[in-house]
Structure 1
Amino acid sequence: MVTDATTRPVTIITGASRGIGAEIARRLARVGHDLVITYRDRVADAESVKAECEASGSRVLLIAVDMSDLDAAAAVVPAAIAEFGTVTGLVNNAGITGRIGPFLDAPLEETELVFRVNVLAPIVVTQAAIAHMSTERGGNGGSVVNISSGAATSGSPNTYITYAMSKAALNALTTGASKEFGPVGVRVNTVSPGTTRTEIHAAAGRPNAPDERAPGIPMRRPGEVHEIAGAVVYLLSDDASYTSGADIRVAGGN
């Protein structure tokens, strides 16, 4: 475990007040990362995650930011650097699905919001992070992990096609950026969860969706947040030093 504050990795996790993001934060804290955690409005939840991570020895900066506000999203990396002096990792986790339902019922305004949060915000934050990490620009390298979805390749018919489209765009970010920035010390990878037991389904109007989908999953159950977080921790670790452009699918066999 890393203990020297001057050499500890510093990782930004967007949308980490609950669910998968919160579990990623807890796991990274336990293996020696200092953390920058963004959240939108769940301040009590964010403070609770911060306290847990600090109990594991991490220094933690909380930033309240609505990721649909691209100017606010652009300020995340500079704030992290101002606090810790560096950023070595970024997890683009914040995301929304829009309402579950048929494609023809998807309002354009909602789809625009999905793309602002799931695609444009990660672009803005990733550009700033890579500009800081790039050895060509004086950085020390680093790692980016994009949290995508199994929906990116299934298309999610009758469920949320536009969400699936946004996650396919995130996959393209991994593919392109891993090739462009591999020569300058930056690894970029994807973790694609399948149906996972989080609150995102309630926000989409179907709180029981994970259990409803279980019969169609080869392992016959939804995933749990710790099963997703483990893949992210691996990709940010030295064990993944030769892994870039990968998509680790954690989807119970789907």
Structure 2
Amino acid sequence: MTGLLIVTGASAGIGAATARNAAFNGWSRIVVHYGQDKTGAEDTAAVVESMGAQAYLFQADVTKPKAVARMFVKLAEMKPGRVGLLNNAGIVSPTGSIMDLTPERVEKVFAVNCFGAIEVARQTVGLIRDWRKGGAIVNISSAAARLGAPDMYIDYAATKGAIDTFTLGLADELAPEGIRVNGIRPGIIETGIHAKGGVPDRLEKIGKSPPMGRPGTADEIAEAALWLLSERASYVTRSILDVTGGR
């Protein structure tokens, strides 16, 4: 496969795992995008190249449309191929209840998780159309979109609920062009996002609560994402896959 896989937020967690595993799934060119963690992104890119694929390191603040546009101008200069997007970049704020959800906090979370994700998808669709080689999109949502994340991150959950709806609508819009759009709702996953949310011990507290009795791994989410992005899932669109251990 001479395609180009774009992974946003590839410096850690699910994004890094997807980029690292992509070469095993036939992707020869992988865009390793990051917002701030350059060291993490460089580590991801090094693993990608050790697997025999070509890594392209890009920094862009997804909350700034001009920064996203600049990245895609550079991508458009590459040799055309099938395009995959793992729309993964996201943040959480520290855990809190409704009175902690100040307008400034909510705006910041929506700017990355919702508005940024929509703009990245928009630019990707433009690239797919220009190259005429086909493509697929996977948006990373969260089980929080179903559960609401009370007393933790209701604002984060709300952004992921918006992403679910966006996934469904975009899938319907693009299906006639053969562009598939799906989503994944990860459950409790072993990543650094819990520490970023101010609860580094969250896995110790609730990691065994899913019916499967354990938290998931970033690699397990990556496998699901890479399947949805591949032609093995050629008849799958408008689906949102729960990868939650039954939660």
| TM bracket, shorter-chain basis | over 0.9
- Counterpart position of 2:198: 205
Report 1:123-202 matches (<5 A). 123-134=118-129, 139-202=132-195
Give the count of matched residue pairs. 246
- Displacement of 1:215 in angstroms is 4.0
1:38 aligns to 2:33 (yes or no): yes
Would you say 1:68 and 2:63 are equivalent positions? yes
Other structure's SS at 1:192 match? strand
Is the counterpart of residue 91 in structure 1 residue 86 in structure 2?
Answer: yes
Structure 1 residue ranges without an equivalent (≥5): 3-7
Structure 2 counterpart of 1:5: none
Tell me by how many angstroms 1:86 deviates.
4.5
Structure 2 partner of 1:230:
223
Distance 1:84 1:61, change over 3 A: farther
Mark the runs of 5 or more structure 2 residues left unpaired by the alignment: none
Alpha-carbon deviations, 1:179-224, whole Å to 9, x = none?
0110012100001100111111111100111221124322222111
Determine if the alignment matches structure 1 residue 241 to structure 2 residue 234: yes
SS at match of 1:38: strand
* Partner in structure 1 of residue 96 of structure 2: 101
Q: % of aligned pairs identical?
A: 37
Q: What residue is the counterpart of 1:21 in the other structure?
A: 15
| Residue aligned with 1:17, SS | coil
Report the secondary structure of 2:32's partner residue: strand
Q: Which stretch has the larger CA shift, 53-62 or 209-218?
A: 209-218
- Give the Cα–Cα distance (whole angstroms) in 1 for the partners of residues 190 and 62 of structure 2: 23
Deviations along 1:142-193, one digit per CA (max 9) or x if unpaired, are 1000000000111111111110000011111110010011001210000110
Q: TM-score by structure 1 length? A: 0.92
- CA RMSD of the aligned region, Å? 1.5
TM-score (norm 2): 0.95
User: How far off its partner does 1:141 sit?
Assistant: 1.9
Letter in 1 for 2:182: N
Q: In the TM superposition, what whole-angstrom CA distance separates every residue of 1:64-90 from its partner, at most 9, and x where no partner exists?
A: 112222321233322222234446111
**Deviation string for 1:44-98 (max 9, x for gaps)?**
2211111111111111110111222232123332222223444611111000011
Q: Deviations over 1:28-53 (max 9, x none)?
A: 12222111111122222211111111
Q: Given the alignment of the two structures, is residue 122 of structure 1 paired with residue 117 of structure 2, yes or no? A: yes
Q: Which moved more, 1:25-34 or 1:181-190?
A: 25-34
Determine which of 44, 52, 55 is the counterpart of 1:49: 44
CA distance in 1, matches of 2:81, 2:100: 44
Contact kept in structure 2, 1:91 and 1:145, CA below 8 Å: yes
Deviations 1:84-128, CA, capped at 9 Å, x for gaps: 444611111000011111122122111101101001111111111
In 2: Cα distance, 1:138 partner to 1:236 partner: 17
